Amino acid sequence: MKQRVVITGTGMITPLGHNVEDVWRNLLACKSGIEITKNFDAASFPTKFSAEVKDYNIFDHLSDTDKLKHKDADRNSSFILGAALQAWAQAGLPKTLSMDKTDDTTPRADRVGVYLGAGEGPPDFDNFIRPTAESWIKEDKAMDWKNWADVALKHMRPIHELQQEPNMSASHIAHLFKLRGLNMSCLTACAASTQAIGEASDLIRHGDADIIIAGGTHSMIHPLGITGFNRLTALSTRNDDHTTASRPFDDSRDGFVIAEGAGVIILESLESATKRGAPILAEVTGYGSTADAFRVTDQHDQGRGGIAAVELALETAGLSPDKIDYISAHGTGTAENDSIETHVIKTVFGEYAKSTPISSVKSSLGHLIAAAGVVELITCILAIRDNIIPPTLNLNTPDPALDLDYVPNTPRKQEVNVAMSNSFGFGGQNNTIIIEQYRDNKS
């Protein structure tokens, strides 16, 4: 018999705050996390701004022993550790787990896992460029690779370089809580953390784990990351008005604003959560995952993969479109994404498309890439808790072709029992999750 899957803890480190309640308060206050980039000197780049996590240090939240264990954690791993500590505490779980199960309220370490949508760590440019500069042979326009290796092996830090592996963030979490269950990572671009949550939910539903820490983390605010997205012309270049540069669904939108951060939810079987007396924040009821198989970076122009993902999520939740009270849009602020997502919603929701509220919190937070989906799903949990829909900021000049209810500029008080979150990533990755207010008598 399939298990019901509930959410018992949440945690966030974002440009709008270092915990869930601060982020939520700032979202509803219509604040922006977008500033001139400080992670590196971006003055000569086409995009000089981003949404960075400010003044956060994971070592302020770790014991002396744990500081030593995680001393080599890079920026994105430190974010996910902080988010995981928050979620773990809210779920009422013990500081660390063991293989001994003394009672029904203490999970066994091999029944608790980690599944993250996590990006690679920020490159160590200083230590990479040094051997490159010293080994460049101008006359031959070639590299002296022997000299490069000699210099690099002296100056590059081996553990730090290994942090480039996307699975390192999940390993840090397992190490922190002594988790010996499944440990998995996926990197499906902007859809990664939504995919991790959806697949983790299915693993619990089928009995492969009792509890999974699921979510994502990413930090691409560095020269290589910005260069790549600028070359793709995907980033906004509104340098003269950067705080309002993220404009999903607006007629003047010119690209997304890159952000960094992490989010975590604790997924748990209803049986486990009930035995522990854990707080139940919401229930995961629907999940759909598809690929466009269209182009390496672009969505299909008619949204075929997005349509299929939304339909599959509704099917697995056993819901019709009229039961969805709120859609958290992928809503990046690029011309193509916003148009295609609107087409997806119109196609699937039909007559209910115009009466279903939709918003994009990327207008405040920026785009957290691999971590975007989990942060947006947490805002859905809060929308259900407080019956408030967060707004789409900077939507002042509606695109005539985009005529749905995008909740412009002001939060809206409205009953929310069921919410849907979309994540559509580079490469045509499409993931949709549906969560509902928990009801203990649901069949």
- The residue that leads in pLDDT, 108 or 122, is 108
Res. 213: pLDDT tops 70: yes
How confident is the model at residue 416, as a pLDDT?
98
DSSP single-letter state for residue 84: H
Active site residue 367: yes
Q: 20 near 26, Cβ under 8 Å?
A: no
Which range (195-204, 247-256, 433-442) has the least confidence?
A: 433-442
| Band of residue 125 on the pLDDT scale cut at 50, 70, 90 | confident
Q: How far apart are CA 282 and CA 292, in angstroms?
A: 30
Q: How far apart are CA 166 and CA 76, in angstroms?
A: 10
Q: 39 near 52, Cβ under 8 Å?
A: yes
Res. 443: pLDDT tops 60: no
Q: 144 near 151, Cβ under 8 Å?
A: no
| Rg (the chain; Cα; Å) | 22
Q: How many CB atoms lie within 10 A of CB 294?
A: 15
Question: What's the average model confidence in pLDDT over 357-373?
Answer: 98
Catalytic residue among 18, 218, 367, 380: 367
How confident is the model at residue 401, as a pLDDT?
95
Catalytic residue among 218, 300, 330, 343: 330
Q: Is 153 left (phi over 0), alpha (psi -120 to 50) or beta?
A: alpha
Catalytic residue among 190, 218, 242, 380: 190
Active site residue 380: no
How confident is the model at residue 158, as a pLDDT?
66
DSSP strand E in 172-300: where? 183-186, 211-218, 261-269, 282-291
- The residue that leads in pLDDT, 164 or 113, is 113
Round the average pLDDT of the chain to a whole number and report it.
Answer: 93
Res. 61: pLDDT tops 60: yes
How confident is the model at residue 246, as a pLDDT?
98
How confident is the model at residue 357, as a pLDDT?
98
Could you give the count of Cα atoms lying within 13 Å of 53 in the half-sphere of its Cβ? 27
Res. 101: pLDDT tops 80: no
Which range (98-102, 238-242, 330-334, 364-368) has the least confidence?
A: 98-102
CATH of 5-122+164-436, one of 3.40.50.1820, 3.40.47.10, 3.40.50.510, 3.40.630.10: 3.40.47.10
How confident is the model at residue 100, as a pLDDT?
77
Q: Which of 356, 336, 334, 335 is nearest to 345 (CA)?
A: 356
Residue spans of the domains in the chain: they are 5-122+164-436, 125-160
- Crossing angle of helices 335-349 and 304-317, rounded to 10°: 40
| Band of residue 162 on the pLDDT scale cut at 50, 70, 90 | low
Q: How many CB atoms lie within 10 A of CB 432?
A: 32
How confident is the model at residue 159, as a pLDDT?
61
- The C-alpha angle 85, 89, 90, rounded to 5 degrees, equals 120
Active site residue 330: yes
